[in-house]
């Protein structure tokens, strides 16, 4: 009897594993159609790409782009009433949640890198950033050399983690890394004096500074450690869904809609405090819009 019970239990576990593998083997469009819902992963403090407004609703530049993608999915599946579910993600869990099927799109501030392409896929590039550092103006930190022997904040799970030491101009710098759970946490380390600098994408730093209580207390300094392309993150090896996503993103680039979205989020007052980032479009981004690409950074 005991042996039989164990056999039944083992069979049940195997069946569940088979079902789980089968679910993940579905294409994203098949999964969405079967469930009647699309799950959009979003960040909570990646201003102005994906963050929460005063009503705790996810908004931002990438959220607007993903709204266009969702409309394309509705049209493709002929499901105008398709339910849209929102799932908060962090730098640390965004890739696992994509791989295990929890989310269908990740709309945040995720760098498209060659290393990450081994795990997930990315849309064509709708934004390009430069990695720099935010400091308190009274810290005395102006350049990479000023960080030697000091604590430096980075966000867990980001490409900025360890980038200073990999940068040619920073090889002789010895820093002590502090890890924030998200960008807001990392910035707080600088604001409170626990860290001398926060190394991150310049536009995210600009958003955090503009949204802080005393923006005049902070500055973005130092050289660019690297230019990085952002993309909408997707599951790997799903060419039909990637083709649909790329078509939707390329369409808003070709129509000029992406420039309107850019002006809305980077050159105009934005919620919740109506701050203006005053962050003009870079030459690199203009090139990426004119000639769409999903090339990842090394």
- The two three-digit tokens of residue 96, written as one number: 């696992």
Roughly how many angstroms between the first and final C-alpha of the chain, as a whole number? Answer: 58
Q: Where in the chain is the domain with CATH 3.40.190.10?
A: 29-126+231-290, 130-227
Once rounded to an integer, what is the mean pLDDT over residues 121-131? 96
Residues 6+ apart with CB under 8 A from 292: 124, 125, 246, 249, 250, 253
pLDDT in tens, 5-37: 444 444 444 444 434 444 455 899 999 999 999
pTM above 0.85?
no
Share of the chain above pLDDT 90, in %: 67
What class has domain 29-126+231-290?
Answer: alpha beta
For residue 58, pLDDT over 80 is answered with yes
For residue 71, pLDDT over 60 is answered with yes
For residue 175, pLDDT over 90 is answered with no
Q: 171 pLDDT band (50/70/90 cuts)?
A: low
Written as one string, the DSSP assignment of 110-136 is: -B-BTTGGGTEEE-S-SEEEEEEEEEE
Once rounded to an integer, what is the mean pLDDT over residues 235-243? 97
Kindly indicate whether the domain formed by 130-227 is annotated with CATH number 1.10.1740.10: no
CA 202 from centre of chain? 14
């Amino acid at each position: 009897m005991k042996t039989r019970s164990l056999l039944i239990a083992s069979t049940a576990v195997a069946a569940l594993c088979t079902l789980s593998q089968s679910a993940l083997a579905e294409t994203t469009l098949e999964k969405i159609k079967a469930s009647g819902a699309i799950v959009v992963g979003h960040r909570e403090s990646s201003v102005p790409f994906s963050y929460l407004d005063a009503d705790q609703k996810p908004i931002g530049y990438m959220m607007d782009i993903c709204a266009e993608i969702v409309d394309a999915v509705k049209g493709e599946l002929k499901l105008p009433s398709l339910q849209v579910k929102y799932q908060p993600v962090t730098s640390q869990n965004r890739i696992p949640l994509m791989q295990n099927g929890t989310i269908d799109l990740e709309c945040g501030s995720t760098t498209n890198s060659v290393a990450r392409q081994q795990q997930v896929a990315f849309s064509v590039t709708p934004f390009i950033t430069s990695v720099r550092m935010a400091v308190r103006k009274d810290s005395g930190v102006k350049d990479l050399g000023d960080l030697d022997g000091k604590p430096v904040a980075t966000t867990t799970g980001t490409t900025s983690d360890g980038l200073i030491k990999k940068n040619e101009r920073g090889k002789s710098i010895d820093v002590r890394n502090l890890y924030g759970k998200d960008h807001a946490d990392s910035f707080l380390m600088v604001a409170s004096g626990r860290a001398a600098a926060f190394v991150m994408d310049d536009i995210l730093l600009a958003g955090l500074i503009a949204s802080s209580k005393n923006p005049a207390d902070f500055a973005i300094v130092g050289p660019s450690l690297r230019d990085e392309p952002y993309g909408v993150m997707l599951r790997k090896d799903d060419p039909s869904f990637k083709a649909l996503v790329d078509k939707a993103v390329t369409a808003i680039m070709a129509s000029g809609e992406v420039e309107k979205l850019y002006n809305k989020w980077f050159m105009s007052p934005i919620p919740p405090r109506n701050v203006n980032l005053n962050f003009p479009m870079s030459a690199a981004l203009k090139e990426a819009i004119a000639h769409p690409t999903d090339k990842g950074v090394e």
